[in-house]
Every structure is written in C-alpha cells, then in structure tokens.
Amino acid sequence: MNEHEHVDFHAENGAQHSESPEVETAESESDTPTLLDQMGGLGGLVSSTLPILVFVPVNNKWGLNAALVSALIIATVILLWRIARKENLQPAISGFFGVGIGAAIAWYTGSAKGYFLYGIWMSLLYAGVFFVSILVRWPLVGVIWKGINGDGMDWRKTPAALYAYMWATGAWATVFLMRFIVQNNFYNADDTNALAIARIVMGWPLTGLVMLFTVFMVKKAAAATSASTQLEK
C-alpha cells in the first residue's frame, strides 16, 4: 500500500475449515496467487510508479503545469488500457484518483512537492488506524482478510491466531509510519526529487516485503485456528 496503492487482501484464500486438512492445504497452495498478483500485478506497479516517473523530469524541464498534465494523461491512459483489456481496475482506479488529488494539491499550492502531500498524510492516517486496531485487539489484517473471505471473526478466540494477525498489522503500521517520517522530512526540505525517489522505493519494494511477512503470519494464524478447531472436536 504505497499511499495510492491499495493493498489487495483478496490475494490470499486463507485456510478455511474443511473435513480434510490435506485436501484443504493442497487446494490453498494451488489457488494462491503469486506475490506479484497479490499486489495488483504488473498493472498495479505501472499505475503507481509511472505517473511519478513522468511527473518529476517533466516538472524539472517544462514546469509544474506541464508535469501535472503529463501525470494525469499517463494515469488516464493506464486506466483506459486496463478497461479495454478487462483487467482488474482497482490499481488503476486507485492510481488515477491518487494522481488527481495530488495534482489538485500541487496546482492549488503552486508547488511540485504538493503533489506528494496527500500520500504523506494518508500514510500517517493509515499508521494510526492500524496501530489503534492492535491496541483494541481487532488487528485490521485479520479483520480485512477474514472478512473478505467470509470466514467470520472466530479467529479472535484463538490467541495464537490473534497474535499472528497483530504482528502482521504491526508490520503494515510500521511501514506506513516510516513512509510518513521519511517523505515528510523530504517535503519539509523542499527536495522534490528525493521525495519522488522515496515514494517509489518505499512503495512497491517495502510493500512486497511486508506482504511476504503478512502471508507468513496469515498461514500461521490459519494453522493455529485449524488446530484449535480440531481440539474442540
């Protein structure tokens, strides 16, 4: 989830209750998408990074207005391309609205760095929400993951599963907080080029790492829940 990214929790099918754990495990492994698929595929990568890669050099050479128009055109083309190909539109739509909001702020403030302001503060908001969900013992990774799969919230009754989801949620909260601290520092220093680099580097690469950790923790939670269910039987 860079800031304009929407982290896709549809990715992991999870370990659902089954009369045959062996069959369940085999089906889960065969149906589980790759890490790239979980993050929106190549289209998601392009949707989140290409507008920034265009915005910064165009701004440096031709000015803010040209940069804003270029970024909006790129975001629009990506969206239309995915619509034409009947692909998953979520990454493109998120990217399009993110570029639109960033462009509006930059145009209003008259500063190129304003393009990144929305994402910076959204990172802080996400960090706060994820940390609070841990404190109240409703870790968002578990709530979103199991909620999307329609599995209910019985996992909260299993301490090992609850703590696994808390660790995963804490990882996301930490990434969001790191993004805010680093990028806000560059924003205050008026270093637009460094801000753009930080946005890209702290976007997909960090998202990939935290997604790997999340998948690992979700599998641990699923195993703990399955073991608890077997004991109850």
Residue 100 C-alpha from the chain's centroid: 18
Residue type, 17: H
Distance between CA atoms of residues 14 and 35, nearest Å: 14
Q: Does the CA dihedral 167-38-142-164 come out positive or negative? A: negative
The token pair that represents 28 in the structure block: 């889960």
**How do residues 197-207 score in pLDDT, each as one tens digit?**
999 999 888 88
Residue type, 177: L
pLDDT at 41: 54
Q: Mark the ranges of the chain whose per-residue pLDDT is less than 50.
A: 2-36
pTM of this structure: 0.77
Place of tokens 């960033």: 102
The answer to whether the beta carbons of residues 68 and 46 sit under 8 Å apart is no
Q: How many residues does the chain have?
A: 233
Distance between CA atoms of residues 214 and 209, nearest Å: 9
pLDDT at 37: 53
**How do residues 77-112 score in pLDDT, each as one tens digit?**
988 888 888 777 777 788 888 899 999 999 999 999
- pLDDT, mean over the chain: 82
Helices (H) and strands (E) in the chain, counts: 10, 0
pLDDT at 178: 97
